[in-house]
Structure 1
Amino acid sequence: MSRVARFHADRTNQKLYFARLACQSAEQTEHMQHAQAQREAAVFHLHGALLAFLQELSRYYRLNETQPTFKSIEEAMAVKGQVSPEIVVLKQLAQDGFIAELKRAYRLAQYAPEPSAPEPENETSSNLIIKVTQSPQAWLPDTHILREWHKELTELIEGFRNEMVEF
């Protein structure tokens, strides 16, 4: 049985594939809302790939976690007197790396960004003109960034998998 099949990596791979398809679709459409939908889908799938990989790690370390988190894996490994090197790296990237940026984009995709209060233009004589132009997608990463996150996450996961030995 292959390493990928043994630790149920197929879901992680599937989420990475879906993220790549969403990026391609966003790049190929000229309809702004369709592109936004596909970029958001890419964010969701990349975040899902991260969660699927945590589940993969949980199975690899035989932790029996159904919805593992960085913290739950770290705590379960500590009970065994062990440390997961994958979690150490992932936690660091979640604090100040591309995973932190991905998690921020995921949070912002869940809820509408807080709108800024419209303010009158100072240069108008009547002060009746209110500037309300704010890009509703300003928080959403462009496809170039999404592709970069996809590449980094894929390489990171593949690197971890290559280092995994029988536990």
Structure 2
Amino acid sequence: MSKHRNPYPSRTNQKLYFARLQLDLISSALASPDDFDSEPRALGAREAAIWHLHAGLGALFQELSKFYKVQPAVRSAKALQEAMALRQQRSPEAEIILGLGEDPFSWVSRLKALIAACYEPVELPEMQFDDESPARIAIPLVMTEQDQPLSTIDLDGLQEIHRELTAIIRYFRAELVEF
């Protein structure tokens, strides 16, 4: 491998590929709902897909940082915009992503909401036990809304985010021209 090779596009592509693999795992888990482990496989793959999509967006901004010669490389549209403003320049890519982030129905806003939800702890309901009950020493199993099986609507939403992110990466790369 050449020391001059730009690692950022390959990292962005890798994150998109990993996200697609996780989406395929969700599809296979949803296709076999009778398997005893289909739900945890789908939930694990869902969270991994969200993380890879989020990391793919971050890798895109590292790629753009390399193009604009921003050091150190940044991982968000806001950071790229601020770094470019310090040089009295602008990044149209950062402006586009920030504009999409303001629209609550855009894929950027949905991805932000999904990644924020990954940090939220699951809230379990309060459980009452009698002092004499053997259940007081056992660990109760509860179903929460977050533990419900995934739906194809949720999968379709994740696949749409993947398609939109891939499309915007291709668009940005096509527009990157050095003079």
Question: What is the TM-score normalised by the length of structure 1?
Answer: 0.79
2:99 counterpart letter in structure 1: Q
Number of equivalent positions? 149
CA contact (8 A) 2:26 2:41 kept: yes
Corresponding position of 2:139? none
Aligned-pair RMSD on alpha carbons? 2.3
* Among 62, 65, 80, the residue aligned to 2:69: 62
Alpha-carbon distance in 2 for matches of 1:110, 1:133: 19
Gaps of 5+ in 1: 119-131
Name whichever of 23-32 and 147-156 sits farther off.
Answer: 23-32
TM alignment of 1:117-136, pairs within 5 A? 134-136=144-146
CA contact (8 A) 2:19 2:49 kept: yes
* Among 72, 82, 96, the residue aligned to 1:89: 96
How far did residue 135 of structure 1 move? 1.6
CA contact (8 A) 2:78 2:98 kept: no
User: Once the two structures are superposed, what CA deviation does each residue of 1:123-156 show, in whole Å capped at 9, x if it has no partner?
Assistant: xxxxxxxxx8642157x87211111100000000
Change (3 A) 1:41 1:160: same
2:56 pairs with 1:49: yes
* Among 46, 68, 73, the residue aligned to 1:39: 46
How far did residue 94 of structure 1 move? 1.7
Identical-pair percentage: 38
User: Once the two structures are superposed, what CA deviation does each residue of 1:86-115 show, in whole Å capped at 9, x if it has no partner?
Assistant: 000000112222111101101111222456
* Among 73, 94, 107, the residue aligned to 1:98: 107
1:25 counterpart letter in structure 2: L
Name whichever of 59-68 and 145-154 sits farther off.
Answer: 59-68
2:85 pairs with 1:73: no
1:70 counterpart letter in structure 2: A
2:178 pairs with 1:166: yes
Gaps of 5+ in 2: 33-37, 128-141
2:8 match: secondary structure: coil
